Homo-oligomer: A and B are copies of this chain.
């Protein structure tokens, strides 16, 4: 492999001759023969149709044209050096960018992951875009986004075409979430489907996947939920629930992460849903993208270990999960 930067030989030689003010010494420094320099520089002069060096005197010196040419040549060389450094930075993950697509709910779940990523690679600018799952898949396939985080592992038809690949990060229980002032607060026993039907709920709009999960659950168990309120904003739901009058169904992690909200298991439980990482299959992955994938895996395994540890003492909170990953 060349350690040398890609740059015209003739100009490099000219630089050396100008520096040493001598063909012979420059040839020594460059570890080439002196005639080689004469030849190369002559060619450069011919291609520019101008005399760059004045060889008449005792020592070689630059002509006016040589002076001005070298000024620019040095800058050009500097640019290519800068290019190499920039690339190196990119490889080092000390710079770069990551375009991340996620469904509207997953951002609550992966905010700690994003935070950890930024803490590790502060030079990489992350831009997150909320979009439906289908857009995520298309965006990844067409390289409009580098990586996506979606709410389900049931990929659309496009996924089959092996253009994208999906990795399950973790899966998540869907529980009833109530505020501390709610009548069910403090219930230890699981919530039955029948009881759920009587409970006034605040739910996401029907176009959200999570809502569709809930609807499917109710249909399967022959109940009609009492929907007191619908919204397309997760934060509205969280605040309403926190006030204590209405309940909702939320991923366990979101519910327990919020102050003043507690999570109550359902029986029978809703099917777990998965948080999935989506990226291109086979194509080029930027270093930042690779790093994000690796960090995500590490973060999830750490998260799993913490969760197992916490379950043994079932009453309380989970520790904040900032998985640290070494490069």
Contacts and interface: CB of A to CB of B under 8 A. Distances in A.
Contacts of A91: 50, 65
Ranked nearest first, the 6 interchain pairs of A and B with the lowest CB-CB distance are: A72-B83, A56-B283, A54-B284, A76-B79, A76-B76, A2-B47
Contacts of A288: 64
A98 to B, nearest CB: 10
A107 to B, nearest CB: 24
Nearest to A75: B79
Interface residues of A, number: 50
Contacts of A6: 8, 10-11, 44, 47-48
A82 interface: yes
A216 interface: no
A87 B1 contact: no
B50 A64 contact: no
B44 A65 contact: no
A142 B63 CA distance: 13
Given A6-B8, A7-B8, A90 B61 contact: no
Interface string A168-193: 00000000000000000000000000
Contacts of A4: 47
Contact of A87 (B46, B50, B96): B50
Contact of A54 (B80, B82, B83, B283): B283
Count chain B CB atoms within 10 A of each CB in A1, A50, A64, A96 and give the residue with the most. Answer: A64
Interface string A1-33: 110101110110000000000000000000000
Nearest to A51: B284
Given A57-B143, A87-B68, A143-B57, A284 B63 contact: yes
Interface in A78-100: 79-80, 82-84, 86-87, 90-91, 96-97
Nearest to A69: B83
Interface string A34-60: 000000000010111111001011000
